[in-house]
Amino acid sequence: MTKLAANLTMLFTELPFMERFRAAAQAGFRGVEFLFPYSFDAEQIAEQLKRNELELVLHNLPAGNWDAGERGIACHPDRTAEFREGVEEAIRYAGVLGVSQLNCLVGILPPGVSAEVARLTLIVNLKFAAEKLKAEGIRLLIEPINYFDIPGFYLNTTKQAVELIMATGSDNIFVQYDIYHMQRMEGELAGTIKANLSLIRHVQLADNPGRFEPGTGEINYRFLFSLLEQLGYDGWIGCEYKPKAGTQEGLGWRAAHGL
């Protein structure tokens, strides 16, 4: 059965953050995700989850100064100590919020840093994070992101993500497969999902072009939902899209896609 989680960073933004949990529950979602919890009190978020009978399925590790344009620091060789502090902070929040997987945004390649140095830094940081999270029963995810939306982002393809995982030697690092990003970067969605299903632990969606809700663009989501079910994917699918004309107004795509 397809399990959809509302991304509260992008959906229900007509409301203050703490009110989005109730709106998501009223709209029929049983799971939620968001980018970061760190500017909020963990206990307050936990209360909203409990009150609205929602499961938090994912959030990210701290990713540097987001408002200044940073998109992760895991590939930054001069910020390893900051990365490790962020892992510890994420574990503290995860313990309160009951989340079982955390995503690492690896970051934009820093000026003056070679791709090889960034790769070696990333491998060390991922191994550290994976070990720390495993001790707490939490999976670590990494997410390839298209370089049209985030120029210079270090991790862009499924193949690169799998190669990084293999290079770490860890059994606690998996792929967060964002259909929108991978449609823009590599296409061949069905074949890639089939080939890498054993490493895919979270899926996110948006249509292309525009990153709007399914049914507004070129991606055949009815086919992909059916495929994921046939393959036995039992994880969550995060709805990380920009509503084209308001969140509630756009939710009809679920019924239109047989969900």
Active site residue 240: yes
- Of 19, 116, 131, 240, the catalytic one is 240
Active site residue 188: no
CA triplet 92, 95, 96: central angle to 5 degrees? 95
**How far is the CA of 28 from the CAs of 1, 54, 59, 92, 205, in angstroms?**
15, 10, 20, 29, 17
Whole-angstrom distance, CA of residue 218 vs CA of residue 209: 7
DSSP category for residue 215: T
- Of 70, 89, 136, 143, the catalytic one is 143
Which residues, 6+ apart, have CB-to-CB distance to 256 below 8 Å?
A: 215
Residue with tokens 């009978």: 53
What is the sign of the dihedral through the CA atoms of 129, 134, 138 and 143? Answer: positive
Return the structure tokens found at 224: 């992909």
Catalytic residues: 143, 240
